[in-house]
Amino acid sequence: MNIETIQKKSGIVGRSEAIQQVLEMVAQVSPVDISILITGESGTGKEIIAKAIHQNSKRSHQSMITVNCGAIPEGIIESELFGHVKGAYTDARGDRKGYFESADNSTIFLDEIGETPLETQVKLLRVIESGEFIPVGGSKAKKTDVRILAATNKDLAGLVSKGLFRQDLYYRLNTVSIPLPPLNDRLEDISLLVERFALEFTRSNDMPYRGFMPEAIRSMKNFRWKGNIRELKNFVESIIVLEKGERITSQMVEQQLGLKSDEFSKNDALPVITNQPSDSAERELILRQLFLLRQDVEFLKKLASPSQSPIENLPPPLLDRSSGVDSNNLHINEDSEYFIKNSSIGDMTIEDLEKEAIIRTLKFYSNNRRASAKSLGMSERTLYRKINQYGLEKKIKNQ
């Protein structure tokens, strides 16, 4: 099946390279009976992708069974998954089928797999590997023919290293994994997504809809969508309700997104000055940090190109653009001209500096890799490589 058909059937919207790659994987893996692990932050579309895989598989004539492993209490999860026999509990008056039995010949979607208790993980591994399971209280193994899809927003490898997730199960699930990029890594899809969500919502609620102004969409692209597509969808629906079907302007969007859009602004524009004193204090703090960070980055760049002295020609970043901020506050005096403390000389490598600049920049941009790469003056690919090279993945996730 081609990608366009998959998109039409599943309702998955997006033209960005990131989502197109995901859909290509969906097209490849759907017809093959293998387990798939879908990973990604909350709201990135793990469930909609799982549904698309099932829909395009040869099991699609049966309905997929979704199990939220994080929502079932530990005490009953095994009975839910594998069923139980009469008498297994005091109130177990008869045999009860579990999800694995009900999903025979179909697909089971184990959502939030990272939340599964360790003892249950052993049994999951068994059923995945051999199709066999024993109902709670039973003694005879039963057989089932189930395809497994699993999803998590947790760092499963991290859980494995902490002893909270079984390594064997992790390897078994992770043979094919589909990582879903955060919405901020596929900003160009925002307009399509907004249009889709707005139309669906206004049609099903019989509401007038006059569209979003292009600037409104632009404002939305500057926001850091921590809740990803789910957050965008909720936002679109609530702004349409609040504005009573009016055409949505960037002012409306900015007002709704509030100060957060300033804080996480990804373009060069500095936060807008308002009259609130606490805002200006916070803004000044942000500006200072931004300034220092820039200086660090410039310093690194200079170090990397030996023809120039690192200290000379430091750019005057932000100063002239920071209207409303006293530029004297940002003046570097003679004493603080050097970024590297004297005590560090002789005990520091370019790699140390680079690593620190990367960590601090990522932190500043709330782990938004595109914005960080841009600010550091490197390509996103290089930033990804360096994150791997310096083993920063874990550090970033824990921040």
Residue ranges binding Mg ion (CB under 5 A): 47
Concatenated DSSP letters for 22-66?
HHHHHHHHTTS---EEEE-STTSSHHHHHHHHHHTSTTTTSPPEE
310 binds, among Mg ion, ligand ATP, none (CB under 5 to 8 A by kind): none
Q: How far is the CB of 252 from Mg ion (least distance, A)?
A: 29
H-only helix segments in 40-189: 46-55, 74-82, 99-102, 118-130, 156-161, 167-173
Q: Is 181 an interacting residue with respect to ligand ATP (CB under 6 A)? A: no
- CA–CA separation, 156 vs 140, rounded Å? 32
Do residues 302 and 310 make contact, with C-beta atoms less than 8 angstroms apart?
yes
Q: Is 83 an interacting residue with respect to ligand ATP (CB under 6 A)? A: no
Q: Is 48 an interacting residue with respect to ligand ATP (CB under 6 A)? A: yes
- Give the single-character DSSP code of 84: B
Q: Is 297 an interacting residue with respect to ligand ATP (CB under 6 A)? A: no
13 binds, among Mg ion, ligand ATP, none (CB under 5 to 8 A by kind): ligand ATP
Q: Is 152 helix (H, G, I), strand (E, B) or coil?
A: strand
Residue nearest to ligand ATP (CB): 45
Selected range binding ligand ATP among 13-21, 91-99, 129-137, 259-267, rule: CB under 6 A: 13-21
Selected range binding ligand ATP among 12-20, 156-164, 310-318, 344-352, rule: CB under 6 A: 12-20
Nearer residue to Mg ion within complex by CB, 45 or 271: 45
- CA–CA separation, 357 vs 360, rounded Å? 5
Do residues 186 and 163 make contact, with C-beta atoms less than 8 angstroms apart?
no
- Strand extents, DSSP E, the chain: 36-39, 65-68, 107-111, 132-133, 142-143, 147-152, 177-179
Q: Is 153 an interacting residue with respect to ligand ATP (CB under 6 A)? A: yes
Q: How far is the CB of 39 from ligand ATP (least distance, A)?
A: 9
Write out the residues near ligand ATP by the rule CB under 6 A: 11-14, 19, 40, 42-48, 153, 193, 196, 229-230, 233
